[in-house]
Structure 1
């Protein structure tokens, strides 16, 4: 029996014919003004995409593989952190992301009895100590664990305003670690850019420029790099963003004869999360995790619905973990190779975001590179300008957060539920550069509502 393609008996309709029909249905209204809208990145989004307008598909950027469900744990009490890691792994987590507070933490006790098979352990280090990393590396090797150390002096500079020590000493330490047989340790913490209000194009370009500094300054960078990204609410753009990051990173890496693919950890953004009507945060994080998975993230660490105002708690952790378990085991999000393949809209977005980000990256490099532009304040200014535009859209109601600036519940009371301060903290101190400040869109409105609760 001969094979016959589905719907082959139907005549092919070209994009030109579709557009003519749409124009007819508009009854004289202008096609571009009515149906084409422009994103903050300057990308014109059309109402439909057709294969006869699409020349080069981006094939199999990342093959299907089970994305890792990550549980984040801030290590303060070692014994409690160890118990929480074991409990999380028993309840569905597949990776554990430890943030280690200081170099006095006993990592032998922290990793005691933790399973070694199939689990990846991330160690986020907000300090830089060659001795501590050496000891931690030995413990990891002895226990036969799969691990990645997350060390990012440039990320420290962007978020804190200062290096761990200074530029020279920090990169001397990285070069020393790179010369040893150490677990993969170079991290690019790009969450700050998104959470501070950078556009998608800026985020991709800054990740590329951030990585290029490490390629240039570490003499023998013979290990995969980890990239941490925050995923926003623009569903298709965020899918394309992660695809474009991987595409451009691999293009850049080839220039340095670096043969490792990047390892992407994605987490939902805090920028659109809200204090009031907080259950809506679960809807936001679900679609953001979906974007991360379909975009090809290697690991996803969900954000608890109450993370901005509650301390870590078992209920919030369980709900956020279960969201990923449903996506993985009931929705089968990890079963298809390059799920965006053939989706002409996403393919086009990927190409356009990559092209615009590459142009911005080239501009950064032509003007001294990423660190130079941080010191000059150019990067901070550009992000601030983008953040202000987005804030204006939110304040005017054009960018909607349901339950906050649209259909708010006036009877909602939050003042007595705050365990954490949910707003930007002012900490006047001397810094080398102006740090990139993360800020949620709803902060000003929420502060006004909190003040009114006591009236």
Structure 2
């Protein structure tokens, strides 16, 4: 048999011109660019068709045929409970851990680990073989303290630091962006250099610093803004280490990056690929041979929903797929109930198994950079690189990323991007399944764990630390923790001198969730869910499309809006409205029937006691006449759904 079968050999080759002619025939005069070309939040055009990129090469990422690290978050406040979760995760397929301390970048709910003593770290890691698994630390402003605890533990336990894969996650720029305060960059940089040299002296071979893009993504930023922030952070840390005397090649290897991946799998794949190309460009500019960057990815916080949370299974699967295909070295999947509260064992199991199935059953890791050569992915990667590099250069011209944050430049750009995205969400041009589209108002909320937190140690006998210099301060911290000191003994009163607007994390579904909370409260008070009476006119074919649209819209706000059978008469419609206990009605039918019946029906509904009467469809030139007949507002594709639902909710509260 031939080695290859050319199944399409007998068909004539198609050309792009032929395809375009066929498309134009279907469009019937509609503009191609506005109809079939989309735009990302960064303004990148998404074409409907891309040719293959024949000159593309696979990007250097994970070692060939090796899976990424399946990282599980350890964020249970109690150290003993956290240890039980970690051991369960490792026993059942996880291959790495992320210790998310209270106040870390990943601690969005505010219930992260209590790590205040070396004893806490010992309890969390009891039975964990540190020489076999990678560990990532996410501790925010306490990162150098947790690093010192680790150093004390490793020395006491007789472990070889060179054999450990610990990403210490020190990221004062990310913490500054998230909190909005900083003592001064000179002071922070001195402590940063001191910690780097201290860890170097201990012989650790993992990465010291984390350039964390989740700060931008959580706050609603674009992909290019996230990449530019990561690049600006990494270059700043590179300069700090160079000034501290570390060789540039070693300094470059001490930096890892963290990116968020979401349900837009193509953009997420391109983003992971783009950071490798961008970092290689930085290394070349430094006179270094490009090396392999250690890339962490976490499924996005901002895409998760509290309402219809089972849809989060789909979102996190897509995001995990994108991270794996894009070439991330370590992937963390947010449990599907993370937006509701502390995930239980089942939610953590689903997070693990999402990755295990993609690796063990789908074998996604077997091919190095499988997106290489794809015209669409290669174009997205290149466009993201160009835009991120341009933003990075803007930060550099401003004096660096810290200066750009201090001036509010970064925050203003992110706020603009977030506002634009929230407008698209409010008008449902960017749908959120289960929240703004296809809601389930009768859902049962899943279980989450109760949060048990011990009182925080805020004072202790103060231990003097030497000034930050060549690692002496870090060594003193290590000795203090080894001796049993709490973190409070090593802390000093805040001396922050820079105060800016923080990059506050938020989820995209929150405007709809707030509405659902309002209606849930009204439901609990009244004993039944508030209803919207759909006043359907004509036969099924006349009203089904708009009635389905109206039901979807009102239930996104927490109303119950069942679609009734056709009404025999206007009198029957008015009678059933009175019996429905609804205070809101929505007229649903075709434009032809609206012309003849909408106004008298609106008047009849108002007479029957309707506080609000909505009409499904654009009113056109009849808007004033409809309003005079009692129509309160209009719902249609592209309207501000959040505003409409807010007005409706006010009636039933």
- Aligned to 1:123, the other structure's residue is in SS state strand
Deviation at 1:33, TM superposition (A): 3.0
Residue 189 of structure 2 is aligned with which of 158, 164, 171? 171
In the alignment, which residue of structure 1 is the partner of 2:133?
Answer: 119
Is 1:223 paired with 2:253?
Answer: yes
Q: 1:260 to 1:75 in 2, by over 3 A?
A: farther
Q: How far apart are residue 448 of structure 1 and its match? A: 2.2
d(CA) in 1 for partners of 2:287, 2:233 = 18
CA drift of 1:274 comes to: 1.3
Compared CA separation, residues 132 and 397, structure 1 to 2 (3 A) = closer
Look up the match of 2:175: 156
C-alpha distance in 2, partners of 1:280/1:75?
A: 24
Per-residue Cα deviation, 1:401-434 (whole angstroms, up to 9, x for no partner): 12211122233476998968xxxxxxxx996111
* Alignment-derived partner of residue 628 in structure 2: none
- Where does 1:206-285 land on structure 2 (aligned, <5 Å)? 206-219=229-242, 220=246, 221=251, 223-257=253-287, 260-285=291-316
CA distance in 2 between partners of 1:130 and 1:158 (Å): 17
Gap runs ≥5 in structure 2: 102-113, 452-495, 523-653
How far apart in 2 are the matches of 1:91 and 1:8? Answer: 49
How far residue 134 of structure 1 moved from its aligned partner, in angstroms, is 3.9
TM-score if structure 2 supplies the norm length?
0.63
Deviation at 1:119, TM superposition (A): 1.4
Contact 2:85–2:345 (CA under 8 A) maintained in structure 1: no
> Is 1:61–1:247's contact at 8 Å kept on the other side of the alignment?
no
Give me the whole-angstrom Cα distance separating, in 1, the residues matched to 2:240 and 2:515: 47
Q: Comparing 223-232 with 429-438, which one deviates more in the overlay?
A: 429-438
Between 33-42 and 77-86, report the one with greater CA deviation.
Answer: 77-86
Alignment-derived partner of residue 37 in structure 1 = 38
Are residues 1:347 and 2:378 paired?
Answer: yes
Distance across 2 between alignment mates of 1:418 and 1:394: 30
Which of residues 319, 323, 327 is equivalent to 2:354?
323
Hey, what does 1:191 align to over in structure 2?
214
Q: Using CA pairs below 8 Å that are at least 6 residues apart, which structure has the higher relative contact order? A: 1
Are the equivalent residues in 2 in contact too, given 1:204–1:245 (CA < 8 A)? yes
Residue range with higher mean Cα deviation, 87-96 or 73-82 = 73-82
Matches within 5 A, 1:40-119: 40-51=41-52, 54=53, 56-63=55-62, 64=64, 65-74=66-75, 76-100=77-101, 101-106=114-119, 107-116=121-130, 118-119=132-133
Aligned residues between the structures: 444
Distance 2:304 2:140 in 1: 24
RMSD, matched Cα: 2.7
Task: State which structure, 1 or 2, has the greater radius of gyration over its C-alpha atoms.
Answer: 2
SS at match of 2:367: coil
Residue 350 of structure 1: how far off its partner (Å) = 0.6
List runs of 5+ in structure 1 lacking aligned partners: 421-428
